[in-house]
Amino acid sequence: MFWDQESETLSRPALEALQLQRLQQTVSRLAARVPFYQQKFAELGVGPDDIRRLEDVRRLPFTTAADLRAIYPSGLLAVEADEPVRLHTSSGTTGKPKAIFFSRNDVNTAADMIARSLVAAGITRADVFQNMMSYGLFTGGLVMHYGAERVGCLVIPAGPGTSERQLMLMQDFGTTAVHILPSYALYFANYLEQKGIDPRKDLKLRKAFVGAEPHTEQTRKRIEEAFGVDVYNSYGLTEMNGPGVAFECEQKAGMHLWEDCFLLEIIDPATGEPLPDGQRGELVLTTLKREAMPILRYRTRDITSVIAEPCPCGRTHRRIHRITGRSDDMLIIRGVNIFPQQIEQVLMSMPQVGRNYLIIVEGLDDLTVKVELSDRGFDGQVEHLAALQNQLVEKLKAEIWVRPKVDLVPPGSLPVAEGKAKRVLDKRSL
């Protein structure tokens, strides 16, 4: 099933021609209207006439999160000040947020990208779609909402309310699909278990869309098993409209990045040089269809790689692999580069491990992983606990090449974040 079959299955030459045309239009608009880019173009000696092929994008300047913070709250408007109809801000952890403005057409485009994505995952107008992400400045609420409404689903704007209320809505309205943070999905699965609810029998759920925070394939499997649903990975960021940038189709094998809206590059984060398909690096995105606030070569800091092989679903927009981490989340411990996802992958493959964990780095690079046990993880025998602890230390050491300390803690004892999960506490940076 397709939402917009023609756009989603354009031949590669047609898609690339469209990208080039939209890139040229974007650069012309920025050169005419946005002082920030006018100055950058002048510094680099580049202008709209220099964009003759898609590869010429590399002549254009990067835009960073710091650039967007520096111009907060005004944004990089390429339209008259009264044209934007919506504001979202990004959930950065430090300093000022980044303000992103949407025109009416931008709001529409964002909803279309979500509609394409949901339909690609098998959603139809018959679905009851419970959006359990926060409504407000965060895009996971409103942007997803409008997309699901566009498909024709009955959309329940549940937001991140209590588990009790989420369950009530699911039961009363026969929810078939949810949009949920993966960390909350694990938490909610536990809640249902405690309530004696078997989602397979007692609920009508069939699909879950998870995103907005890094998570591993093991976490996907856990959510699928806990709820008896298909789980689809969804990637996006506020700077690029929010969710709907890249989304898994029914194959669940990498996320199609909507290339008629975004031009993708993968670069070496250290040098800025382009990397070939298949090689892991930082994702850099240029908006191709933005009116209010086009952004060139945005350094997402997210680490992924391109899957160049065509997808059996027939969509020609290339896929990216699951995000394995953010370059700024990378921990350097005793000289070794470690991504929190590597730790999660080990933990979530162990049934004795529960839903939450916390990575603590302190002192002279001492790494401690606090790990919640699952409800069935502890049979009361202390020697079993010690054996599990040793097993975890060895498995983690094999994955990350650093020997961590592992603290096993009771289920539900680690703090639960209100929004996105916070998995790392680096006391060295405090």
* Residues making contact with ligand DLL (CB under 6 A): 90-91, 133, 138-140, 211-214, 233-238, 242-243, 300, 302, 323, 326
Q: Between residues 215 and 315, which has the closer beta carbon with respect to ligand DLL?
A: 215
Q: How far is the CB of 98 from ligand DLL (least distance, A)?
A: 8
41 or 339: CB nearest ligand DLL? 339
Question: How far, in Å, CA of 194 to CA of 267, rounded?
Answer: 46
Residue 311 CA to residue 428 CA, distance in Å, equals 44
Of 139 and 316, which CB lies nearer to ligand DLL in the complex structure?
139
Considering the complex, what minimum distance in angstroms separates the CB of residue 262 from ligand DLL? 13
Smallest gap from Cβ 100 to ligand DLL, in A, equals 9
- Min dist CB 303 to ligand DLL, Å, is 9
Considering the complex, state which of residue 243 and residue 377 has its C-beta at the smaller distance from ligand DLL. 243
CA distances for 128 relative to 151, 157, 207, 312, angstroms: 11, 11, 10, 27
Residue 51 CA, distance from chain mean position = 30
User: Hunting for tokens 């850099």 — which residue is that?
Assistant: 284
Block residue for tokens 């790494």? 367
- The DSSP secondary structure of 184-237, one letter per residue, reads HHHHHHHHHHHHT--HHHH----EEEEESS---HHHHHHHHHHHTSEEEEEEEE
Alpha-carbon gap, residue 142 to 125, rounded angstroms: 18
Buried b (16+ CB within 10 A) or exposed e, 398-408: eebebebebeb
Closest CA to 143 of 68, 193, 187, 86: 86
Q: What is the 3-state secondary structure (H, E, C) of 195-210?
A: HCCCHHHHCCCCEEEE
CB of 181 to ligand DLL, least distance (A): 8
Decide: helix, strand or coil at residue 86. Answer: strand
Smallest distance, ligand DLL to C-beta of residue 371, A: 21
Q: Which is nearer to ligand DLL, 84 or 140 (CB)?
A: 140
Asked if residues 143 and 114 have their Cβ atoms less than 8 Å apart, the reply is yes
319 vs 377, beta carbon nearer ligand DLL = 319
Select the residue whose beta carbon is closest to ligand DLL and give its number: 211
Residue 102 CB, nearest approach to ligand DLL (Å) = 14
State in angstroms the smallest separation of the CB of 203 from ligand DLL.
Answer: 22
Cis peptide, bond prior to residue 294, ω within 30 of zero: no
Q: Which is nearer to ligand DLL, 355 or 423 (CB)?
A: 423
**Looking at beta carbons only, is 268 or 328 nearer to ligand DLL?**
328
Q: Which residue lies nearer to ligand DLL by CB, 110 or 400?
A: 110
Edge-to-edge strand ranges of the sheet holding 154-156: 154-156, 128-131, 177-180, 207-211, 230-237, 242-248, 255-257, 319-320, 306-307
What is the nearest approach in angstroms of ligand DLL to the Cβ of residue 138?
6
